């Protein structure tokens, strides 16, 4: 299958990064290279570092970027490993960093990756296929209470406890191996009236499992302060998120890094030694234009936040 992925908020990202033609930029979620390609066009004297944990994405991006220039380096890994990857490349500081959080259209549309409830395939969901834990492992081995917690914390699924109960009962008879097996269980667990409320009944459960498999919220929270430390003064950090759990993390992390003091308000003398590290460029997240919404359905939930290193 051809790796197809339309980059969301492309113009807004390029504008927000305030690109220096001689600068060094990191795309920590390379995908098919849509955003990276636009960055590469604007840095004829600079350097682009692209990171992704998906081999198919790296191959597709390499083909795309090679048609634009040769001043780029690709690395396989999770963006949370950005500090180590740049160190191996002898890069101490960069001028800009981009993260486009979530699953690519290609991953969703490739049934054998197991990300989508629309295609029957192995219950996998690993962004890095060599990772140890898959969705199948979680569904077939986790205790009912832990499954219920995952469905609520990561999917805000109000029927999560009931879905977890049905999963545990079903797996007593046979392992849950495929996406459609899981979809059938979810449909049985959610009452008919609730399923008619709109949207696919498996959407929240699949989102929750994907987040748990790939530790998406944990690595996002971990990478933000590390990435800010890698920026040169005036360097920009742009993050695109696709649901409220991700956006809340970015908003709160940016807010904390923007503070110059975290002492209690009534304390007369500052003793925290907290220093302001960033300036928030986007007080409210940037969302897609009406034109982009009409052309790219994936952009509907996209939110872009940008910060600048002090």
Do 23 and 163 reside in the same domain of the chain? no
Q: State the pairing for strand pair 24-27/47-52.
A: parallel
C-alpha to C-alpha distances, 177 to 5, 122, 166, 244, nearest whole angstrom: 28, 6, 15, 29
CATH number at residue 297: 3.40.50.150
Task: Estimate to the nearest angstrom the gap between the alpha carbon of 291 and the chain centroid.
Answer: 24
Do 278 and 130 reside in the same domain of the chain? no
Q: What is the pLDDT of residue 193?
A: 77
242 is in an annotated binding site: no
C-alpha to C-alpha distances, 278 to 120, 159, 174, 307, nearest whole angstrom: 45, 40, 52, 6
Q: What is the pTM of this model?
A: 0.91
CATH number at residue 207: 1.10.150.170
Work out the burial of residue 262: count CB atoms within 10 Å of its CB; fewer than 13 is exposed, 13-18 middle, 19 or more buried.
exposed
Do 255 and 115 reside in the same domain of the chain? no
Q: Which of 170, 172, 150, 171 is nearest to 161 (CA)?
A: 150
C-alpha to C-alpha distances, 142 to 39, 139, 249, nearest whole angstrom: 42, 6, 26
Q: Which of 287, 297, 308 is nearest to 234 (CA)?
A: 308
Do 159 and 226 reside in the same domain of the chain? no
Do 86 and 229 reside in the same domain of the chain? yes
Strand order in the sheet with 47-52: 72-76, 47-52, 24-27, 94-100, 231-241, 303-309, 278-280
Angle at 96 between CA 95 and CA 101, to 5 degrees: 165
35 is in an annotated binding site: yes
The DSSP code for 178 is B
100 is in an annotated binding site: yes
102 is in an annotated binding site: no
Are the beta carbons of 200 and 117 closer than 8 angstroms?
A: yes
Average confidence (pLDDT) per 10 residues, the chain, 310 residues: 73 98 97 95 98 92 97 97 98 98 75 91 93 96 98 96 98 97 97 77 96 95 97 98 95 97 90 95 97 92 97
Do 208 and 227 reside in the same domain of the chain? no
Do 93 and 227 reside in the same domain of the chain? yes
Instruction: Report d(CA 124, CA 181) in Å as an integer.
Output: 13
52 is in an annotated binding site: yes
20 is in an annotated binding site: no
Do 57 and 131 reside in the same domain of the chain? no
């Amino acid at each position: 299958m051809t790796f197809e992925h339309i980059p969301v908020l492309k113009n807004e990202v390029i504008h927000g990064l305030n690109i220096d033609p001689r600068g060094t930029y990191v795309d920590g979620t390379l995908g098919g290279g849509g955003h990276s390609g636009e960055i590469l066009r604007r840095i004829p004297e600079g350097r682009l570092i692209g990171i992704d944990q998906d081999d198919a994405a790296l191959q597709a991006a390499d083909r795309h970027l090679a048609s634009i220039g040769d001043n780029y380096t690709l690395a396989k890994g999770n963006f949370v490993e950005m500090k180590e990857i740049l160190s191996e490349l002898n890069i101490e500081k960069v001028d800009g960093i981009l993260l486009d959080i979530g699953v690519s259209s290609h991953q969703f549309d490739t049934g054998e990756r197991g990300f989508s409830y629309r295609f029957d395939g192995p219950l996998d969901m690993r962004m890095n296929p060599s990772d140890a834990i898959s969705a199948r492992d979680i569904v077939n081995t986790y205790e009912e209470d832990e499954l219920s917690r995952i469905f609520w914390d990561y999917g805000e699924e109000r029927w999560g406890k009931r879905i977890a109960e049905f999963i545990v009962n079903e797996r007593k008879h046979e392992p849950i191996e495929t996406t459609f097996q899981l979809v059938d269980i979810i449909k049985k667990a959610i009452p008919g009236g609730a399923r008619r409320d709109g949207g696919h009944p498996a959407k929240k459960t699949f989102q929750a499992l994907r987040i748990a498999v790939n530790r998406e919220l944990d690595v996002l929270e971990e990478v933000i302060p590390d990435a800010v430390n890698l920026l040169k003064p005036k360097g920009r950090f742009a993050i695109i998120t696709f649901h409220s759990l991700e956006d809340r993390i970015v908003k709160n992390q940016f807010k904390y890094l923007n503070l110059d003091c975290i002492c209690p308000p009534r304390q007369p003398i500052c003793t925290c030694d907290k220093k302001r590290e960033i300036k928030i460029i986007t007080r409210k997240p940037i969302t897609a234009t009406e034109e982009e919404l009409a052309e790219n359905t994936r952009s509907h939930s996209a939110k872009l936040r940008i910060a600048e290193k002090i």
